[in-house]
């Protein structure tokens, strides 16, 4: 069958400093009156919710805050939130925070109308009906969750990680205000920023890559390559925060269209088996996966080094492609990402289990530019130690 291009994303995107003040008005336009706000305690405590709550109050929108989200969330958090939102009679779900809060918010919205438990819907297109309308407000420049149809959960008791992937999970509004990311500490800026870069690189080299996803991935790579060190080391730099949030949104849109690859599959297994935060896992693995994929993605890698402005135009494709991998490793070092899985205290004896678990993450494995089997996964992991 010929390749057919489909692209979906949030219904509306608003981006800019101070955009959070438009929230009340936007919810009014959606004809909603009672918001279920999903966040984590950390961002509530540093006052990140104040602007949004003021905006809701100004427009007479009622709200209730569920600030119980923990990193790499369990599906039970979504069940708990949905129970509360249903009891309250909320008519819109607003997720504010990193990917963990946004993902739980998306799941709550579909649980309210579909019933059941979040874990029932983990898989591809298992959600029968649309959920409540949603607004997604990212406060990390990383996951791009505001733009994707995925909500990722960690099932710690089963030592597995999986996503609800449904067309009903695209948000009605992605509201991005770079000012909300000014408070991100350097370490979270670095790991979440590398997550965004991984989305862009893997979407760009995915077997599902297409002209639309390439357009977004290229811009994301060039923005993140340029501004991630600045955002990490000089967090109050508004231009760097603005460009990083745009890079992360574009990475999310590219991944929504083209998917991701083996780095994500391996990162999922590190998260599931050892609770390594998603961004950190991607950051440590990315250069190793890129080296494994080199021959299958040579032209695209060469283009990455041009997008990152690190080679002259006349440089050979082979040389430029190699330089892209080196540049990503050196970017990681510059922003303090650990170099190896050993530094994350992962035992080498886990390689076999990690490789096996990653091969069960089907879609990223299928999208990877080079065919990858257990031997390949083991080889990447060995390199990463
Ligand atoms: P996170 O949401 O887990 O947050 C990490 C920490 O950052 C938290 O302690 C939080 O309080 C803090 N934080 C967030 N914003 C802050 C701010 N502005 N200032 C200060 N502190 C702030 O981290 P994340 O990396 O954004 O999300 C990770 C989750 O997203 C994982 O579960 C991962 O699997 C998932 N994910 C989802 C998608 C998707 O498409 N849905 C894509 C990638 C990753």
Instruction: Please tell me the predicted confidence (pLDDT) of residue 310.
Output: 81
Instruction: Please tell me the predicted confidence (pLDDT) of residue 2.
Output: 63
Would you say the CB of residue 70 lies under 6 angstroms from ligand 1? no
Question: How far away, in angstroms, is 234 Cα from ligand 1 center?
Answer: 20
Instruction: Please tell me the predicted confidence (pLDDT) of residue 313.
Output: 67
Q: Whole-angstrom Cα distance, residue 183 to residue 342?
A: 30
Residues in the chain: 385
* pLDDT per 10-residue tile (average), the chain, 385 residues: 82 98 98 98 97 97 98 97 98 98 98 97 97 98 97 91 95 98 98 98 97 97 97 98 98 96 96 93 96 96 91 81 94 95 94 94 94 96 95
Would you say the CB of residue 278 lies under 6 angstroms from ligand 1? yes
Question: How far away, in angstroms, is 349 Cα from ligand 1 center?
Answer: 29
Specify whether the CB–CB gap between 162 and 174 falls below 8 A.
Answer: no
Task: Give phi and psi for 107, each to the nearest 5.
Answer: -70, -40
Exposed, middle or buried: residue 321 (CB in 10 Å: 0-12, 13-18, 19+)? buried
Q: Which two three-digit tokens encode residue 104?
A: 């739980």
Partner residues linked to 317 by β-bridges = none
Q: List the 12-15 sheet strands across, edge first.
A: 12-15, 173-176, 134-138, 92-97, 34-38, 62-66
Ligand 1 pocket mutation, candidates 109, 122, 124, 143, criterion most atoms within 8 A of CB: 143
Specify whether the CB–CB gap between 38 and 108 falls below 8 A.
Answer: yes
> Using CA of residue 8, residue 135, residue 363, residue 118, what is the dihedral sign?
negative
Local structure of residue 87 (DSSP, 8 states): H
Buried b (16+ CB within 10 A) or exposed e, 350-372: bbeebbebbbebebbbbbbbbeb
Instruction: Please tell me the predicted confidence (pLDDT) of residue 210.
Output: 95
Partner residues linked to 209 by β-bridges = none
Instruction: Please tell me the predicted confidence (pLDDT) of residue 1.
Output: 55
Q: Which atom of ligand 1 is nearest to the CA of 180?
A: 18
Would you say the CB of residue 244 lies under 6 angstroms from ligand 1? no
Question: How far away, in angstroms, is 281 Cα from ligand 1 center?
Answer: 13
Partner residues linked to 152 by β-bridges = 163
Q: Report the 10 Å Cβ neighbour count for 340.
A: 12
The separation between CA 116 and the C-alpha centre of its own chain, rounded to angstroms, equals 25
Q: Which two three-digit tokens encode residue 240?
A: 């760097």
> Which of 28, 22, 90 is closest to 55 using CA atoms?
22
Ligand 1 pocket mutation, candidates 8, 68, 98, criterion most atoms within 8 A of CB: 98
Q: Which two three-digit tokens encode residue 42?
A: 């950390």
Instruction: Please tell me the predicted confidence (pLDDT) of residue 353.
Output: 94
Q: If you compute the radius of gyration of the chain from its CA atoms, what whole number of angstroms results?
A: 20
Specify whether the CB–CB gap between 368 and 263 falls below 8 A.
Answer: no
Q: Report the 10 Å Cβ neighbour count for 25.
A: 12
Q: Whole-angstrom Cα distance, residue 255 to residue 145?
A: 10
Q: What is the pTM of this model?
A: 0.96
**Please, what is the end-to-end C-alpha distance for the chain in angstroms?**
41
Would you say the CB of residue 165 lies under 6 angstroms from ligand 1? no
Ligand 1 pocket mutation, candidates 71, 147, 189, criterion most atoms within 8 A of CB: 71
Q: Which residues have CB under 8 Å from 39's CB, separation 6+?
A: 48, 49, 65, 66, 67, 69, 95, 96, 97, 101
Ligand 1 pocket mutation, candidates 39, 42, 109, 137, criterion most atoms within 8 A of CB: 42
Exposed, middle or buried: residue 39 (CB in 10 Å: 0-12, 13-18, 19+)? buried
Specify whether the CB–CB gap between 138 and 98 falls below 8 A.
Answer: yes
């Amino acid at each position: 069958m010929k390749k057919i291009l489909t692209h979906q994303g949030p219904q509306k995107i608003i981006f800019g400093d101070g955009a959070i003040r438009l929230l009340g008005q936007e919810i009014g336009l959606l004809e909603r009156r009672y918001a279920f706000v999903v966040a984590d305690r950390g961002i509530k405590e540093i006052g990140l919710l104040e602007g949004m709550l003021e905006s809701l109050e100004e427009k007479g929108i009622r709200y209730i805050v569920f600030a119980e989200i923990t990193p790499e969330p369990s599906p039970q958090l979504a069940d708990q939130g949905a129970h509360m939102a249903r009891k309250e009679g909320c008519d819109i779900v607003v997720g504010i925070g990193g990917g963990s809060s946004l993902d739980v918010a998306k799941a709550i919205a579909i649980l309210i109308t579909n019933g059941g438990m979040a874990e029932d819907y983990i898989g591809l297109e298992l959600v029968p009906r649309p959920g409540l309308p949603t607004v997604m407000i990212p406060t990390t420049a990383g996951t791009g969750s505001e733009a994707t149809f995925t909500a990722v959960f960690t099932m710690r008791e089963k030592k597995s990680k999986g996503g609800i992937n449904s067309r009903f999970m695209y948000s009605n509004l992605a509201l991005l205000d770079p000012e909300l990311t000014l408070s991100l500490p350097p370490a979270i800026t670095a790991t979440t920023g590398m997550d965004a870069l991984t989305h862009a690189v893997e979407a760009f080299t995915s077997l599902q890559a297409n002209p639309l996803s390439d357009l977004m991935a290229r811009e994301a790579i060039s923005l993140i390559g340029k501004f991630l060190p600045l955002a990490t080391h000089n967090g109050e730099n508004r231009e760097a925060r603005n460009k990083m949030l745009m890079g992360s949104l574009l990475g999310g849109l590219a991944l929504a269209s083209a998917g991701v690859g083996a780095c994500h599959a391996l990162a999922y297994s590190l998260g599931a088996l050892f609770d390594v935060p998603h961004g950190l896992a991607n950051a440590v693995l990315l250069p190793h996966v890129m080296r494994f994929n080199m021959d299958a993605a040579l032209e695209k890698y060469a283009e990455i080094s041009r997008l990152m402005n690190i080679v002259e135009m006349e440089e050979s494709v082979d040389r430029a492609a190699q330089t892209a991998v080196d540049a990503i490793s050196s970017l990681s070092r510059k922003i303090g990402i650990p170099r190896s899985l050993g530094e994350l205290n992962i035992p080498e004896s886990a390689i076999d289990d990690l490789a096996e678990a990653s091969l069960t993450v089907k879609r990223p494995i299928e999208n990877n530019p080079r065919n990858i089997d257990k031997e390949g996964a083991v080889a990447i992991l060995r390199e990463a130690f």
